[in-house]
């Protein structure tokens, strides 16, 4: 992990030391293929509604008009879960921080200077209420995230919301599908930062708008027989390296809990025990990541550096 100042000065450069434990990472797509490859997954069957408490179990309505009942429905369907309304009225709220995601391909061959800037892991640059972060994936692919505080509709009027009035027509709104217009606007937003840092945006490909939403830090629900949640559906929090890991751990724990139930009549208690364990741990991490986001995208960039100093080994 490497942190730079906006002028390109290296502020921190954490390298693995002999004997350090590895922290391996894997691309999401590769992990999904490993986990789901052996399974008979029914793709394309969108869920529109989940109704617990019917005579035959939990009724699931599908987008194609069909419906089926199940003993247990697990909502592992992300931030905008279609299962969550069956057991909770909570809805995600916007944090005030938006990410614009882009990427670089074949970085070691096509952009060797950027490859050296990023190093073997990640590089981050923090400014006033904004940041640029680049992370290596496999196969020479690099994910780049422009992060900034802005209204949810920041792109509708850049002059009013972001102060970007340097280019004629920007105040009329930005088409997020217009790659070059988005690139131009982001370069204006990060104007004055070191040229090598801005090259992360200049040489990148398509841009994806990802406003950050969260569920309440202490999100729980009154237990409903036959329905539960895990992952982002249960505890959506800022993406600081925790959410995917929690989701995988919870999937394993729920499977173990259900598998250990002596009989069908014990299924409900197994799920209830799983939920209580999940809530306690997820609540702690939600507090940590919420506070972390406030410091990483902050009016005072030294807060981000201080946060990393606290969590990195000395």
User: Residue 171 has what pLDDT?
Assistant: 47
- Condensed to tens digits (0 to 9), the pLDDT of residues 128-153 reads 999 999 999 999 999 999 999 999 98
- Condensed to tens digits (0 to 9), the pLDDT of residues 195-216 reads 999 999 999 999 999 999 999 9
* Cα–Cα distance for residue pair 101/219, rounded to 1 Å: 28
DSSP annotation of 41: -
Range with lowest mean pLDDT among 51-60, 163-172, 201-210: 163-172
User: Residue 162 has what pLDDT?
Assistant: 66
User: Residue 164 has what pLDDT?
Assistant: 57
174 pLDDT higher than 90: no
The architecture (CATH level 2) of 93-213 comes to 2-Layer Sandwich (3.30)
The dihedral through the CA atoms of 288, 22, 117, 206 has a sign that is: negative
* Cα–Cα distance for residue pair 88/60, rounded to 1 Å: 16
SS3 211: strand
Question: Options 3.40.50.1820, 3.50.50.60, 3.40.50.2300, 3.30.70.60; which CATH number does 44-92+215-296 get?
Answer: 3.50.50.60
User: Residue 169 has what pLDDT?
Assistant: 43
Spatial neighbors of 67 by CB under 8 A, at least 6 apart, are 59, 60, 61
Q: What is the mean pLDDT of residues 79-101?
A: 97
pTM of the model: 0.91
Q: What is the mean pLDDT of residues 19-42?
A: 85
24 pLDDT higher than 80: no
Domain range summary for the chain, segments of one domain joined by +:
44-92+215-296, 93-213
- Condensed to tens digits (0 to 9), the pLDDT of residues 230-284 reads 999 999 999 998 999 999 999 999 999 999 988 878 999 999 999 999 999 999 9
């Amino acid at each position: 992990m490497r942190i730079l100042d906006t002028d390109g000065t290296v502020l921190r450069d954490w390298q693995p030391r002999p004997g350090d434990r590895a922290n391996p990472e894997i691309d999401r797509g590769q992990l999904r293929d490993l986990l789901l490859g052996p399974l008979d997954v029914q793709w394309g069957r969108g869920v529109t509604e989940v109704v617990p408490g019917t005579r035959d179990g939990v009724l699931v309505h599908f987008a194609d008009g069909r419906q089926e009942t199940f003993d247990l429905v697990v909502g592992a369907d992300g931030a905008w879960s279609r299962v969550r309304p069956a057991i909770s009225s909570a809805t995600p709220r916007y944090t005030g921080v938006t990410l614009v995601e882009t990427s670089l391909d074949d970085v070691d061959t096509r952009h060797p200077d950027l490859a050296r800037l990023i190093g073997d892991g990640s590089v981050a640059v923090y400014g006033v209420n904004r940041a640029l972060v680049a992370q290596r994936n496999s196969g020479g692919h690099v994910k780049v995230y422009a992060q900034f505080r802005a209204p949810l509709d920041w792109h509708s009027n850049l002059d009013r919301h972001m102060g970007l009035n340097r280019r004629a027509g920007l105040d009329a709104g930005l088409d997020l599908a217009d790659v070059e217009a988005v690139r131009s606007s982001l370069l204006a937003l990060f104007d004055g930062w070191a040229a090598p840092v801005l090259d992360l945006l200049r040489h990148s490909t398509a841009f994806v708008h990802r406003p950050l939403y969260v569920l309440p830090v202490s999100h729980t629900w009154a237990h409903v027989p036959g329905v539960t949640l895990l992952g982002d559906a249960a505890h959506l929090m800022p993406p600081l390296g925790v959410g995917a890991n929690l989701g995988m751990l919870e999937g394993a724990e729920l499977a173990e809990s259900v598998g250990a139930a002596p009989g069908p009549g014990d299924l409900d208690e197994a799920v209830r025990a799983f939920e209580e364990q999940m809530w306690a741990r997820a609540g702690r991490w939600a507090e940590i990541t919420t506070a972390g986001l406030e410091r990483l995208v902050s009016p005072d960039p030294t807060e981000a550096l201080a946060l990393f100093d606290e969590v990195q080994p000395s």
